[in-house]
Amino acid sequence: MDSASVDEKLDAIIIGWGKGGKTLAGTLARAGQRVAIIEQSSQMYGGTCINIGCVPTKALIHDAESRDGAGYDPQIFHAAVDRRDKLTAMMRAKNFSMLDELDSVLVVNGTAAFTGPKSIKVNAGSEEQELSAETIIINTGALPAVPEIDGAQIGGRVHDSTTIQHAPLPKTLAVVGGGYVGIEFASMFAQFGSKVTVLDRGSRALSKEDADVAAEVQGCLEDAGAEIISSASVRSISQDEHGATVSYEREGEVHRLQSDAVLIALGRVPNTAGLGLEAAGVRTGSRGEIVVDEFLATSAPGIYAVGDANGGPQFTYISLDDHRVLANRLLGDGSRSTKDRVAVPYTIFTTPPLARVGLSEKQAAKQGLDTRIAVKKVAEIAAMPRPKIVGDPRGIIKFVVDARSDGILGAALMHVDSQEVINLVALAMRQRIGAAELRDQIFTHPSSTEALNEVLGQLG
């Protein structure tokens, strides 16, 4: 609808067009409510996932993998970025129309800030609008974290995970951060032909993963030509017309790394600054996250926060489940809560991808659990021909199983199609299907799923 019709009574206001917010807008509207959704950028209709996050980066990763080590070629990268942009533009337009065509949804463009517990001021250039509603939902997502490192400000040759997607393909790239984002981008750019060096301040990259799993990921990165330098504490970054220099300390010595570009990949922080939350009485935590209860309610009555803004796991499917919880609270019996979530999986889209769910062996040991471990390299799994068929038999499969109950406590799958197989494992965990029962399931052939027969068969 036209955003001029702002004097009508609103039942709900949603700030931000991410997965949870846009889905709630449609759900509430179809239930007969009058809803306003506020988005500050027309380039972000649909939220982070489809515009700068999951979808565009995975499109680039797919195109990088398709090159199969063809060397440095900026034109190939340029073509991949062009395809990425066309894909996101199409999805952005679809996301806009899905709400704009609903008569009871008011699309408002501008920057929102609270002026009171039930009121919002929206600035759009020289124009200003006042909106009010009994229910207000904050869905403003997260932004890349910028560390307190001299010269780490984004601009020029220094990038975050958003800006680097449209930068010229660097011949050499320094990645600051050996976490999930840093490793995923390192894998992608190495396959596009960049010489990538990852500087990780920890003793090893992917420190939350078991050592054998992390080693498999690192080996695949090295296959692509990337290098990981651990225990590297970055002190400063400088740049000029010739390149960028990262100064870091390792084992008491100062080193300097020259590169064409630098990617700062040190996580993301909730995007809540500037919302005027104090005017509404909304409490925030130490990282700026909006504090919510298990029903996503903030400290202010009638105000809720969904998605990355509330400090929960930063996945678009968690934002979607936030929608389910809040829709149940606003329209249903209020029985759903975030405590219902069990066995939530995630995937790092390295090549091949690493997918995880539940506890690692290290985490289970820390909890004092009595476990049995089933682990096997993909290349050694006889009953798993699909990775060999598609030409990438690298990876590892690892299960952590409760020794007493046979319940699956967790799994790490790094192989072709792992982003799909992990969902089956997560479902088995939620439905309390034991390792032996999953082991004896009938799976199609040749598939990646059938590896579960052999790997879990090690447990007897």
Active site (catalytic) residues: 445
CB of 199 within 8 A of CB of 226?
no
Q: How far apart are CA 72 and CA 195, in angstroms?
A: 9
Exposure b/e, 132-149, CB count within 10 A at least 16 = b? bbebbbbbbbbbbbeeeb
Helix, strand, coil fractions of the chain, as percent rounded to 5: 35, 25, 40
Residue type, 446: P
Q: How far apart are CA 77 and CA 189, in angstroms?
A: 9
Q: Residue 219: in which H helix or E strand, if any?
A: helix 211-223
Q: How far apart are CA 157 and CA 100, in angstroms?
A: 38
Q: Residue 402: in which H helix or E strand, if any?
A: strand 396-402
- Structure tokens of 327? 């829709």
In this structure, the chain runs to a length of: 460
Q: How far apart are CA 260 and CA 359, in angstroms?
A: 39
